[in-house]
Amino acid sequence: MTTVLLLRYPQQDYVTWRQELAGESTGILIARVATRSQSRQTPATNMWLADHVTSASDEASIIFITRDTENASIAIITLNRPDRLNALTPEMGPLYAATLQELDADPSVRAIVVTGAGRGFCSGADLSSLAGSTDDLLSYVRGQTVQTLPLVALTLATPVATAINGPCAGIGFVLAMSADARFVASDATLSTTFARLGLVAEYGIAWLLPRLVGLPVATDLLLTGRAITGDEAARLGLATGSSDPVASALTWAREIATNSSPRSTAMMKRQLLQADSLTLSDAVPKALDAMAEAFTWPDLAEALEARAHKRAPQFPDPPGRD
């Protein structure tokens, strides 16, 4: 049983709390809570326990983090507004991005898995947030950058997987596609949905989607805004089909956390992100420079030593993450 200690804080005043549970295999647990209403705020000392992460209070909009019980170097982010299919409020988007960046800076984290509580992954933006004044919406949009949006996952050193367990639309679709690996349930539904709301391809998805599935498929999904099943998403190459996407995402994350050098994965993510903007004549010298740098790392020696002794490698944390 996973025990999670959550703290409740006023909206937009979220904090991180960490505690090592003595005698537990759950590792470090982190919880973030942003309450829906300032009128419901309670002192930071008002703590409450949940026996399972899915039993968190419906009175709060929550993004919380636990550690994988089999490998504590894997952080699991859960979007928790199950009554709204985990629709994002204006506060939750930047909070999600900030959570990713904090985990990326934590040397104890080797991989991240993102999923949604209940029967949904993320149904998009909470539509009530679109009913505000035009000035408010413009102010919100113009205040965003890559670092405050779901696309920030692409820029992280840490590998990220999304487990698409149910409805996934709009900004939720962008959030899901921004991961390094995506796993989807066959009965999940996915949609860009922007065209059907009189909007545009938001949050950089017009840049990302053709790189995942090619321009013709990306054009179809964006211009029609049609919903597709998880099975079709798998056939199109958007994600890997799975009967249990969370389990599949954790298997992928454990493989990386156990066997891959974090320096190597960080460098490879950077290479992949830069690849489309480079010509072959530019990419090869950069690859050779990266290879020369890798030969100076202690990781290769550790990998060879581990293979010689038939054990799992104990790769060091990369510099700059402690």
The 3-state secondary structure of 275-310, one letter per residue? HCCCCHHHHHHHHHHHHHHHCCCCHHHHHHHHHHCC
CATH number (domain holding residue 63): 3.90.226.10
Q: In what helix (H) or strand (E) does residue 268 lie, and over which residues does it extend? A: helix 262-275
Q: Are residues 140 and 266 in the same domain?
A: no
Q: Is the pLDDT of residue 80 over 60?
A: yes
Gap between the Cα atoms of 255 and 251, Å rounded: 6
Q: Is the pLDDT of residue 21 over 60?
A: no
The CA-atom distances, in angstroms, between 79 and each of 50, 85, 122 are: 16, 9, 8
Q: What is the pLDDT of residue 128?
A: 78
Residues 267-301 pLDDT 10s: 999 999 998 889 999 999 999 999 999 999 999 99
Q: What is the pLDDT of residue 73?
A: 96
Gap between the Cα atoms of 156 and 269, Å rounded: 8
Give a yes or no: residue 313 inside a domain: no
Which residues are CB-neighbours of 318 under 8 A, at least 6 positions away? 107, 157, 262, 263, 266
Instruction: Identify whether the C-beta of residue 168 lies closer than 8 Å to the C-beta of residue 176.
Output: yes
Q: What is the pLDDT of residue 26?
A: 30
Q: What is the pTM of this model?
A: 0.79
Task: Give residue 55's domain range.
Answer: 4-259
Q: How many beta carbons lie within 10 A of that of residue 285, not counting itself?
A: 10
Q: Are residues 15 and 109 in the same domain?
A: yes
Give a yes or no: residue 322 inside a domain: no
The CA-atom distances, in angstroms, between 16 and each of 6, 29, 173 are: 10, 10, 26
Q: Are residues 129 and 251 in the same domain?
A: yes
Give a yes or no: residue 314 inside a domain: no
Give the residue carrying structure tokens 């550690």. Answer: 67
Q: What is the pLDDT of residue 133?
A: 64
Give a yes or no: residue 59 inside a domain: yes
Structure tokens at 28: 């470090």
Residues 29-62 pLDDT 10s: 333 333 323 322 222 222 222 322 332 333 344 7
Q: What is the pLDDT of residue 140?
A: 65
* Cα end-to-end distance, the chain, whole Å: 30
What is the domain count for the chain? 2
